[in-house]
Structure 1
Amino acid sequence: MRRLLTALVLQLQRDINDGHVYYDGGENNKLLLDSGCPRSIVDDKEFSDDVIGPILFSGCTDRIRQIPATVRERGYTGILGWDFIKALGKEYANIFFDLSNRSNMALRLSNENSPSVLSSIYIQELEFSPQARYPILCCSLYALGACEDAVGLLDLASPISMCNTPAEDMVRLFPRQDNYVQRTTTGVDGRTSTLRAGQAAGIRLGSSFDIPNVPLAIADTPAMDQLGFRNDPFLLIGLDLLGDSFALHFLPNVGAKKEERKLLLTKRHGKKISGVVAILNVHSSSHRKT
């Protein structure tokens, strides 16, 4: 697929009620941005002439499926999943999420030089099936003097970060008695899970990026169970941990197959890179936990 433009800006919106970030394609076509969903779900007739259409329909694996009822009930007409973000990476080396200005939020795409890699770890996608791959970060969780490793799913559709009961038990999270989280959460499959509120002394993303005093929602969701983490510590890394400015950089994978690219996730303060979080080998083989 030929490169569309050397730079492109996609305007984003954020729901004032639930905090979800979405792309507004006009004419009531709202696409939820969800890296935790491996495959995009949209109607190709509605977006064939849209600016994202050429990327969406050539790079995504399953664009025509029934939109989940829970997604439509929230006013969205589709989902831009992890396959869409990887498809963008084939066209643009840098994807910068700028959510700092509520009136001008954007996904800024360019092919400018990527940052130098100072500190990083290599991780792989979690493969649930050949067409269902999930972006996974290695994390560390701190509480009550304990520090334990966990697996984290990069979930741009989650305004808040979440952990399961094994992660809570592993480090004995501090309890919270405030209204940080709503009492329940409903997945795209319509199943509801009860939430509790806790707090970690800190979370480390990747090899060196530390975030202190992190509030977490605690739940054992069907999605966590489906991915094989019923008994293992697992985190959903949401927008509250990523912040209002972060970027994905797709780098050539030297010595590997032509279609393989590494993914560098960085957090930014303005134009300054404040920390390298992780490098993901996007098309490498991956494992499924049992």
Structure 2
Amino acid sequence: MKTSQILSLIVSRPRPSKTAGYSLFFIAALVTLTYIRFPVGVVGEMIENAFLKTPVNARIGSVSLSFPPGLAFENVTISDRSPANNQLLNIKRVKIRPSILSAITGDRRVFLSAQIMDGDASAVVDFSGGKGDEINVDIRFSGINTGAGRWWDTTGWGSLDANLNGEGSFSLADPNVVKGEGRIKIVLEKGLLKFKKELGVKLPDIAIDSGELELDFKSRKLTITKARLTGPEFNAAITGDIYTALIPKFSRFNLTLKASIDKTLENKLGPIALLLPPEKGGVRSVRIGGTGVKPDFRFE
């Protein structure tokens, strides 16, 4: 229906209907024009600047309008703050939209969806449920391929290729994520643990059938409340803490790994197996210290 037909229809109605009709028409026109002329380029710059207060840098390839009304970000690159500016992650696409009822009810929630590491992630960011400037975030993700993460290039020990599903919740009183607190639960599907040359010996790749991981995060400290991995040749559990750093690869470990391995894996490990004398019940224990870029293994 053309604009002239809409105006004719409004004019032909009684005065109360005319008033309401004119009001709705001009409100709709104002909203449409505002949406079309929204300065999407400025938003991208604002978000990149906001990341200056976090442990990482962000670069956005392009920003565009999306429907339902919102913004779409393409080719978002996350990198660390080291002099080399190492790329940690590339997000193919992110969509952000406000709550549809926000203008009516004052609902201050924002909904996010992303295509990341060959999988999908979504989040609800609530600016209205906390104290002061607190922000509450609920996340869900599925099909995340850990092998697609670029941060493995910066580690000194190896990489993990697996699919992850999970959910979590966080409270942030500051834009710096490491000052927040929260909890996350992750389920790991089939994967492969690959090691770089360590202690002068190349460790074999280790197949993983499944795993569970539960983390609590508070005051820059990640506490592993549950971490279990199982594979055709081993069973393992990890406990302890990770003290996060502004540059993630410099985060410090205080972890204990306990594992039972079968004869096949023991033979693959070769001389390394001799450093892992089994405890009662065949369980072997390793203390993991150091940092992400230079871990320290102590065999008990």
TM-score when scaled to structure 1?
0.24
| Greater strand fraction, Structure 1 or Structure 2 | 2
TM-score when scaled to structure 2?
0.23
